Amino acid sequence: MAILWFLLLALALIVLAIVFALVFERSEKNMLFSGLETVLFLVMMPKNELKKDDSRAQEEKILISQMEQVLTNFLNLRKPKIFQDSLSVTLEIASQIGGEDISFYVAVPKYLETVFEKYVQGVYSGAIVQKVPEDYTVFEPQGQTAGAYLILKENSIFPISTYQKLEKDPLSTITNNLSKISANEGAAIQLIIRPLAGEDFRKKGEKVLSKIREGKSPKNAVFEVMQNPAVKFMLDFVKDIFKKEIAPDLQKKEQGFDQAGYDAVQSKVQKQAFQTNIRLVASAPSRERAEDILSHLVDSFSQFSLSSINSFEKRGIKPSALKKFIYDFSFRNFNAAQGNILNTEEIASIYHFPNHFSETPYIKAVKTQEAAPPSDLPETGVNLLGKVLFRGEEKKVYFGSKDDRRRHFYIIGQTGVGKSGFLREMIRQDIENGEGVAVIDPHGELVEHTLANIPKNRIDDVVLFEPFDQERPMGLNMLEHDTPEQKDFAVQEMIAIDSLKMK
């Protein structure tokens, strides 16, 4: 019988090991799939004139708080399938290799691609949201890389200092450090956020508040509520045995109501929260310089320390683990072991789009404002001029009639801006539509392109004049006319041409 039980136990362990291996392998594949199934956007804000008045501090906090509205749109991310990690959103501030601009990026799940721009522009009306076709890089191929992640020193139920408590915009400290790196160096700050499942965090927060009201110290209250059930059972068992000895000491420690601790926990749990990874990477020609850049980025987060409540602490990456860390950074993989729980106010304090109060140089900003196309544009017409893309919506622009084109069309521009290309497309459309077209080209390139795009049904309509072709000479009477008015016009034009030749 003992041997049978032993065999059953061994079989159960083998099955569990196989299941664990399969789940782990599938999790790794899902992480890679999740990283590839995201769309990266560059977000740029208009650089308005700096306002200098007494209301600056208050207005600045209002502008920062707008990021909280954007974050709340991500609370309803699509629920994952079984054995699949929750979908996440990545927020990045980067100074990439080969450039000096500081860019703000957001990577979202592919199914949010069409609505993300509306999320942002619904709050920031002047923002430009551009889809990035190819991912950027902060890594120098022949350089050295340093990395670290940040975790909360205390339990996540305790908040950090936020923009509401700080005197100036905390983003300025972060971007100022990024602005000091050279073109052959790179650095980035990455926040990966995903919604917390259910209301468990908030419910535990309410239990902690209840125990603080009973006179427990915040840390003891958190310990009792947040501890592992098995650990709690063992501690309760020990307390029952040594109740007489332990109880008096506990009563002494738990006397009084900690108002500051209560307010801190309440401020954390009253807002929506996300699981969050905070990663920092730096790349430079030398290891020492990469570590120096990383150190300055880490120092930027000291401003979020809330005295005796909570703060961030750095966890460096050993050389043996750096490759995996960079892999997770590049594919934007969430790592639960590096996770924190931050609410929308805390995340917005670390990452928000720059406003007109920002004085950091080299932040990539909107140089020209976009304008909405007129609402009464014709839906069809003589020529399709092009397509206008405004806030994710594409609209075709036509010349409504031949009269409009004759009266209102004039092309000017420097060499290479696309004048000939624009004309080529209009000529092609006119020929396909059966219209008569005359092309005068002093260089010959435009005519060659036009001939290459004539449809078969219009080949017999083509008349080609080439004055340089001596095998097929052309005759042209410059003084030919049909009316007396045309005669006078032709004579005057010939005299004008001759006078130009004499100059």
Q: What are the mean pLDDT values of the chain's consecutive 10-residue runs (503 residues total)? A: 63 62 49 66 79 66 93 76 69 88 94 88 88 91 94 94 92 92 93 86 89 86 72 53 48 64 91 96 95 96 92 94 95 94 96 87 78 73 75 74 77 83 85 86 83 88 83 79 88 81 58
HSE of 255, CA atoms in CB hemisphere, 13 A: 6
What is the pLDDT, as a whole number, of residue 334? 94
What is the pLDDT, as a whole number, of residue 59? 84
HSE of 486, CA atoms in CB hemisphere, 13 A: 6
What is the pLDDT, as a whole number, of residue 246? 46
Q: How far apart are CA 312 and CA 302, in angstroms?
A: 7
For residue 403, the one-letter residue type is D
Contacts of 195 (CB under 8 A, 6+ apart): 74, 75, 76, 77, 86, 272, 274, 275
What is the pLDDT, as a whole number, of residue 24? 46
Asked if 179 and 95 count as a contact pair (C-beta separation under 8 A), the reply is yes
What is the pLDDT, as a whole number, of residue 288? 95
What is the pLDDT, as a whole number, of residue 43? 95
For residue 437, the one-letter residue type is V
Q: Where are the domains of the chain?
A: 1-36, 38-145+161-195+272-304+315-350, 383-502
Contacts of 22 (CB under 8 A, 6+ apart): none
Q: DSSP label at 256?
A: S
CATH 3.40.462 fits 38-145+161-195+272-304+315-350, yes or no: yes
